Amino acid sequence: MSKLTQARLKELLNYDEKTGDFTWKENRGGTAKTDKIAGHKKANGYIYISIDCKTYSGHRLVWLYVHGYIPELEIDHTNRIKSDNRILNLREVSHSCNMQNYGVRSNNITGIRGISFHKKSKKFRAEITINKKTIYLGIFASKFTAAKARAAAEVKYKWDICNTFKSSAYKYIQEHQ
């Protein structure tokens, strides 16, 4: 099986930059009908499209369609909406940069990324992960001081270069000064 090319992709699909959707150019059997939106959203939130017996993530196909290649690096959805495949919402980034552009996890009880409550000491623990290495920032008496340490680390490690949103630590500090 040959590698998918931009020419082959454009032979099969149309891409709408305003919506981020691909549509089939012609009937291909099954659910692939002319002018029907191609692909499906999986439980992880990403769009997947099958072409020539191989499944591709929609955002990587957008990159191929627009730029002519599938990147070796990752494609980041800058607005954090995994199904939003408009080209203006996509950027090619390193894994480390991509990991910096996600929000607070649903199981985080502090509401601040990189800050957790240390039950034993009844204080707040701060950390930051850079290039797959977690850097311990300390244990703090208040959530505010932990957030300040986290925000300072974000500046030190140039977090804002990759993060398209103000961080949760920055927002917390602004709201509680």
CATH code for position 133: 3.30.730
pLDDT tens, position by position, 49-78: 999 999 999 999 999 999 999 999 999 998
Q: Cα–chain-centroid distance for residue 57?
A: 13
Task: Confirm whether 99 is domain-assigned.
Answer: no
Helix, strand, coil shares of the chain as percentages rounded to 5? 30, 30, 40
Number of Cβ atoms within 10 Å of the Cβ of 67: 13
- The residue ranking higher by pLDDT, 48 or 131, is 48
Regarding whether 30 and 84 lie in a shared domain, the answer is yes
Look at residue 134 in the predicted model and tell me its pLDDT: 93
Segment 145-149 mean pLDDT: 96
| Structure confidence at residue 5 (pLDDT) | 96
Q: Provide the pLDDT confidence category of residue 103 given band limits of 50, 70 and 90.
A: confident
Q: Of the ranges 10-14, 99-103, 129-133, which one carries the lowest mean pLDDT score?
A: 99-103
The reported pLDDT for the residue numbered 14 is 98
Residue 1 pLDDT exceeds 60: no
The four Cα atoms 146, 111, 136, 93 give a dihedral, to 10 degrees, of -130
In this structure, is residue 88 part of a structural domain? yes
Does pLDDT of 164 surpass 70? no
> What is the Cα–Cα distance from 63 to 80, expressed in whole angstroms?
17
Residues 72 and 114 in one domain: no
Domain that holds residue 168: 104-175
* Of 93, 128, 159, the domain-final residue: 93
Number of domains in the chain: 2
Mean model confidence pLDDT for the chain: 91
Domain finish residue from 93, 113, 141: 93
Question: Based on the domain organization, do 37 and 89 belong to the same domain?
Answer: yes
Q: Are residues 58 and 125 located together in one domain of the fold?
A: no
Q: What is the pLDDT of residue 45?
A: 96
Burial annotation 4-43 (CB, 10 A radius, 16+ → b, else e): bebeebeebbebeeeebbbbbeeebeeebeeeeebbeeee
Residue type, 56: Y
Residue 126 or 97, more confident? 126
Is there a single domain that holds both residue 12 and residue 56? yes
Q: Is residue 46 very low, low, confident or very high in pLDDT (cuts 50, 70, 90)?
A: very high
Q: State which of 93, 119, 136 marks the end of a domain.
A: 93
Q: Does 129 fall in a domain?
A: yes
56: which strand partners?
A: 49
Do both 14 and 85 map to the same domain?
Answer: yes
